[in-house]
Amino acid sequence: MLIPPAAALHPVNLTCDYRHNPIGIDDTHPRFSWIDSSPRRDQFQGAWQVLVASSPLLLSHNRGDLWNSGRVASGTASLITYSGRALTSERRAWWKVRVWNRAGQPSAFSPAARFEMGLLRPSDWHAKWIGMPALDPAAPNEPVALLRTSFILRGRIRSARWYGTALGLYQLQVNGMPATNGRLRPGWTDYHLRIPYQTLDVTRLLRPGVNAVGIRLAAGWYAGYVGFGHRRFHYGNAPRAYGQLVVRYRDGTKTTVSTGPGWAGAYGPTLGADLLMGDLRDSRREMPGWCVPVMMERWNRHFGAVQVDATPSVKQPPGTRPAPACDWPGNIPLTAESDRPVERVAAISPKVIRETAAGWVVDFGQNMVGVVHVRAFGGHSGERVTMRFGEVLNPDGSVYTTNLRGARATDVWILNGAPMQQWEPQFTFHGFRYAQITGWPGALTSANITGIVLSSARPDASAFECTNHLVNQLQHNIQWGMRGNYLEVPTDCPQRDERLGWMGDAEVFAPTACDNANVAAFLGKWMDDVDDAQSAAGGFSDVSPRLVDPADGAPAWGDAGVIVPWTLYRAYGDKRVVADHYPAMVRWLNYIRSANPDLLWVNRSNNNFGDWLNVGDDTDRALIATAFFARDADLMARMARAIGKVRDAAMYHALFQQIAAAFDRKWLLPDGAISGGTQTSYVIALQFHLLPPAARRQAAADLVAAIRKRGWHLSTGFIGTGSICQVLTDAGYADVAWRLVKNTTYPSWGYEIARGATTIWERWDGIRPNGTFEDPGMNSFNHYAFGAVGRWLIEDVAGIQSDAAHPGYAEIILNPLARGGVRSASSRIETIHGEVASAWRQEKDRFIWKVTIPANTWAEAHIPAQTIAGVTEGRRSIARAPGIHVIGMAHGALVVTVPSGSWSFHSTVPTHRRGALSR
């Protein structure tokens, strides 16, 4: 066996379709990624070999009976498409990879990873949809149904998989044990077009002999309250479960247990479970062991036959496309779950508990999204504990709930008198910092209550920190806003009667999300929702899934259907996400262009929200619309080029130039100003490159003048805020950007922080300077759109950017904003190639900068410096550092190319560089 030298690369962190060891996928050409790890500098991959085998034994003998790629000369280590034997239903595969560096030195093979196929054909499914009678529209609550069956397994069990889904939400139990930690499955889609199913490994929960499977079934998005007001049953009023358990024995035979006749159902102790309204739990009705074989008989009198449907009832919401005929169960395609489920990601202990006239008020110290876990030691049977949730407090110390509108956001727990009882709601979530509790037996302490944080994302994989406490708190607020609103779909808010996938919010925040976490699978799934919501005319929607708001998309909202795929391509280098959604993007461009032959987007602008929630500085809505029309054309040209559509790329580039020219004719004045002169008009004109080069300098100066006119404050809404600091920095006005970020008076991020914000607010003045609340009809205290400034912190202040010409951080731009704002800053982000880190500080007249660049990538580093002679790497002159190539001086910085590894740069403090103080 060839022993690799120490300098060789080592492949680690193997993923398949962005996930570790996924089971139940339906991608017949999955994509493999790994990270090339090396303790040494200047390491690049020169080739790779992937082996995929049908058993771990074969793989251990280096036999790839499903696929042996052979040695492939390539530096690519991400999204390698499987090209072996056809993958069939339930196929299990094990894979590993080895790589060669550029010197031809091989690594050892990586440890084995695995993936497993789901059920790929309609004929693989043998289940039927089951549930209880349709919900009563007159009833105030949607009870949780308990569905169960028992069966006998004869033989030694090799493996067992549950393939299942629901119209509604479900949780699976096997022999009384939970089968997964995921929540709110199967999630939310346009159910008449697509329903995701889950594959769960339940082998360890089964045994030879009598077994039982149970399903808790709740209304969820399918039948519960969603969106504005008191409306439910958007998709149907009869929640249904669907699934089958496939058990394989060691002798090669199998048993399949499917939902259908023979299952029994009852209503359990959860008398109401709703995403907006909350849970109602009567612990006196508990049925312990309701799906444990040895205990099931005692509850038989509560259970009766379930309703069995060949075709479930699923309504088509207004504005959505009709479902095409298909052979799937109920004529609704089942698709494998492609992203991670909502999970319990943290537990928070109370910071303060105090008794008030309104009850016990619990302050968790953080505006969060999730539920509470409660434990009662004592209490009489029938005592009723009521928990109301809110984000802020009234002046009298009670929890403020008026801004929740129609959402009750209330959990009710009826005690059963046991010495110790505990409860954690499973089919709801709340947006809250405070819980107001009445009816608690005795004194409430931190031993009785814990906040449970639920999310689909983990933004703590990345970090940003600097010497300014306010800016650090801003980053904290951005990450917690993302954590709370990236829950199944990117919602606008998590607390009131809305919680919709607003496209405009998602579009402006997506780049910041990609900087803070790996959201490729999350936003990739949501892009399927976006395409599902596209109208027959070609219009994307304002919200995806399309519900409550049936109109086609407004400018900057519908455009998310183009901008988010571009954002994913830029962050992860994923061409498939572009190719998969390209036809829908083409239809959207045609939708706009066909109605606006003069290339000014004034027709088919639908709701046209404009610069939503700007501060008395409304921008011409046709200007915003036309700018986004141009932006779409520009990005379409780049994406078409990326996937090899050369003619389309030329066509869309020409369209972009034509729209930009039309924009300039309409809104660019002879003196170089933009008509209207709002901050947002200048921001998007500069950001989207709509102005001729000669006008850009004047436009930037006019933007600064518009900010000065506002007392050095923002007047931007959702459209202009996210990019204003980057636009100012690129134009040489970083001092102005810093002034905006450091402000603590209204309107500013610091104003919110000074008033205790731990997430981003929907309105700049959610709490007014006089202490009163803004309009409760629309006043969320966890609304991430204004948090899009987080991209500036990581990409400009810390200076970590993906080179747009080489997406996915294959090539990295390191260019920190090292003057005028803070004395030091650091950030690390997890890319598909590994961790990139930048940490700089200024000490008197010295600039010290430590960077980490993943193996198999390189960076263009801009080192603040006065001269080349004053720059060192470690103790060596930069000109003599191995692997570093000096390009030259530019804008007060020394520009060098740097290979992978950890580096330490030192230089004298520059007198001028990109973004230096200019006023």
Residue numbers annotated as active site: 498, 762
Quickly tell me which residue has 């993943």 as its tokens: 854
Query: In terms of C-beta density within 10 A (0-12 exposed, 13-18 middle, 19 or more buried), how is residue 467 classed?
Result: middle
**What are the distances in angstroms from CA 480 to CA 366, 367, 524, 637, 758?**
9, 8, 21, 35, 7
Closest CA to 248 of 40, 89, 77, 52: 89
Q: Is 284 left (phi over 0), alpha (psi -120 to 50) or beta?
A: alpha
Amino acid, single-letter form, for residue 639: M
Closest CA to 628 of 546, 551, 549, 553: 553
C-alpha count within 13 angstroms, C-beta hemisphere, residue 33? 19
**What are the distances in angstroms from CA 575 to CA 531, 569, 644, 646?**
17, 6, 10, 15
Q: Phi first, then psi: what are they for 294, rounded to 5°?
A: -75, -10
Cβ proximity of 99 and 78 under 8 Å: no
Q: Phi first, then psi: what are they for 326, rounded to 5°?
A: -155, 175
> What whole-number distance in Å separates Cα of residue 175 and Cα of residue 293?
7
> What whole-number distance in Å separates Cα of residue 321 and Cα of residue 28?
27
For the chain, the first-to-last Cα distance in angstroms comes to 66
E strands, 340-429, in order:
343-348, 352-356, 359-376, 384-390, 410-414, 421-423
Query: In terms of C-beta density within 10 A (0-12 exposed, 13-18 middle, 19 or more buried), how is residue 314 classed?
Result: buried
Quickly tell me which residue has 């309609």 as its tokens: 122
Closest CA to 474 of 737, 164, 204, 865: 737
**What are the distances in angstroms from CA 354 to CA 218, 373, 411?**
34, 18, 19
Cβ proximity of 205 and 179 under 8 Å: yes
> What whole-number distance in Å separates Cα of residue 241 and Cα of residue 163?
11
C-alpha count within 13 angstroms, C-beta hemisphere, residue 605? 21
Torsion of CA 436, 441, 445, 450, to 10 degrees: -60
